[in-house]
Chains A and B, each alone.
Chain A
Amino acid sequence: MSTSFLLLLIVLIGFISYFAGRARSFAQAGGKLSNLHSLPGYHGSYVAIWAILPAALVLGAWLVAAPVYIDSSTRAVLPETVQAQGGATVELALGQVKSVAGGLKRLTAEEVSALESGSANLRSTLAAKGVALAGEGEPYMITAAQHFNAMTVTNRWLMSAVVLLIAIAGGVYAIRNIATRFRARNQVERVMLGALVVASSIAILTTVGIIASMLSEAGRFFTMVSPFEFFFGTVWDPRFAAAGSGGASGQFGLIPLLAGTLYIAFVAMLFAVPIGLFAAIYMAEYASPRLRSTAKPLLEVLAGIPTIVYGFFALVTVGPFLRDISAQLNGLVTGNYQNFIQAQSVLTAGIVMGIMLIPFVSSLSDDIITQVPRALRDGSLGLGATRSETVKKVILPAALPGIVGALLLTASRAVGETMIVVLAAGVAARMQINPFEPMTTVTVKIVNQLTGDLEFTSPQTLVAFALGITLFVITLGLNIYALYIVRKYREQYE
Chain B
Amino acid sequence: MNIMSEAAVEKALDQKMNTVPYKMIGKDVSVYYGEKRALFDVNLNIRENTVTALIGPSGCGKSTFLRTLNRMNDTIENCRVTGKITLDEDDIYDPTIDVVELRARVGMVFQKPNPFPKSIYDNVAYGPRIHGLARTKSEFDDVVETSLQKAGLWNEVKDRLQEPGTGLSGGQQQRLCIARAVAVSPEVILMDEPCSALDPIATAKVEELIHELRTNFTIVIVTHSMQQAARVSQRTAMFHLGNLVEENDTDKMFTNPDDQRTQDYIMGRFG
Contact = CB atoms under 8 A, between A and B. Distances in A.
Given A382-B70, A492-B117, 5 more contacts: A378-B75, A382-B103, A382-B181, A384-B105, A393-B126
Contact of A384 (B75, B114, B184): B184
Interface string A374-416: 0111111111111001000110011000000000000000000
B170 interface: no
B130 A384 contact: yes
Contact of A382 (B72, B115, B117): B72
Interface in B118-168: 118, 126-127, 130-131
Given A377-B75, A389-B130, A393-B130, A382 B110 contact: yes
B177 interface: yes
A398 B180 CA distance: 18
B224 interface: no
A67 interface: no
A244 interface: no
A379 B100 CA distance: 13
Contact of A385 (B77, B112, B115, B130): B130
Interface string B64-105: 000000101001010000000000000000000000111111
B127 A383 contact: yes
B108 A382 contact: yes
B151 to A, nearest CB: 14
15 contacts: A376-B116, A376-B117, A378-B72, A379-B177, A381-B75, A381-B103, A382-B72, A382-B110, A383-B130, A384-B100, A384-B103, A385-B127, A393-B130, A397-B116, A492-B117
B107 interface: yes
A289 interface: yes
Which 8 residue pairs across A and B have the least CB separation, nearest first?
A384-B104, A382-B108, A375-B114, A384-B103, A379-B114, A383-B127, A398-B117, A385-B130
A389 B181 CA distance: 16
Contacts, number: 72
A383 B181 contact: yes
Nearest to A392: B130
Contacts of B100: 384-386
Interface of A: 288-289, 373, 375-386, 389, 393-394, 397-398, 492
Nearest to B113: A375
Nearest to A290: B77
Given A375-B112, A398-B117, A382 B107 contact: yes
Q: Is the interface of B mostly helix, strand, loop or mixed?
A: helix
A384 B115 CA distance: 15
B77 A383 contact: no
Given A386-B100, A393-B130, A380 B116 contact: yes
A137 B75 CA distance: 87
Contacts of B115: 379
Contact of B77 (A289, A379, A380): A289
A383 B110 contact: no
A379 B173 CA distance: 13
A224 to B, nearest CB: 54
A378 B180 CA distance: 13
Contacts of A397: 116-118
Contacts of B77: 288-289
B60 to A, nearest CB: 21
A458 B181 CA distance: 72
A385 B102 CA distance: 10
Q: Which of B103, B104, B114 has the most CB of A within 10 A?
A: B114
A376 B114 contact: yes
Contacts of B116: 376, 379-380, 393-394, 397-398
A130 B40 CA distance: 91
A394 B184 CA distance: 17
Contacts of B127: 383-385
A289 B75 CA distance: 13
Given A375-B110, A376-B114, A397-B117, A383 B103 contact: yes
A61 to B, nearest CB: 59
